[in-house]
Structure 1
């Protein structure tokens, strides 16, 4: 599956790739890791976001957000956000949420 390269570039610019943030092709898209843990990714036209368990209900209540489903099963700790709702402010909020959840995990 191809991914939205414009969205990926917007994510890359906001995350400022460096030693702690690395982009990798995975899940048929492009994911961004923080200290080795996936924080966010671009899959198709949408944004995949790691979400801490305590943040999940509030995250799913946001416009364009839905659970991340793999083969008919909901993957806990992940949310998909529709690309059409990702203006710069909204995108930055989601990236911060994903970075927070990834940073809370042990480094890989």
Structure 2
């Protein structure tokens, strides 16, 4: 399960950007073509955040659909696999979206003094 390593990296990156502040929410974009299972990331998140600034934080996962463009006719269409066939019969496609793994937002708690 490579999602455990990915989640550990996400926690490390968010912790670095939080600069010592408690994190209350993390939003991720995960492409449907990325071979990353959102359910596994969600499961690993609770485990990986224990004892960190992210412990108790809410994880929001935004799934990005696959979108391809045909090199032959220029048509754009959705795909659910990293390969496909255009209506014109071409298999020469450029993947436009769906391979993402991005930390979209982090929300930190601000301490008022």
**Same fold at TM > 0.5:** no
Q: Which has the higher helix share?
A: 1
TM-score (norm: length of structure 1):
0.28
